[in-house]
Amino acid sequence: MKELATNGIPVAVTCRVLKLARQPYYRRRRQLALGRLTPIEYEAIMTTPASQAA
């Protein structure tokens, strides 16, 4: 799906055609604001046992 977005095809259109939900796509997509991590990777780092104990 990344290739389709790179070619200028909007994610919403791609997801509709492929019958996919947009939410999982964005959760796996690397985000510049998160240091090129996916939201899932960022969440895993931020919820480590050391940070939960503090």
pLDDT at 2: 58
Q: Residue 31 region, left (φ>0) first, then alpha (ψ -120 to 50), else beta? A: beta
Question: Does the predicted TM-score (pTM) go above 0.85?
Answer: no
Torsion sign (Cα): 47, 50, 51, 52: positive
Domain extent listing, the chain? 2-53
pLDDT score of 39 = 75
The predicted-structure confidence for 1-54, as pLDDT tens digits, reads as follows: 555 566 677 777 776 777 766 666 666 677 777 787 877 788 888 887 765 555
pLDDT at 25: 62
pLDDT at position 36 is 79
Q: How far is 29 from 40, CA to CA, in rounded Å? A: 9
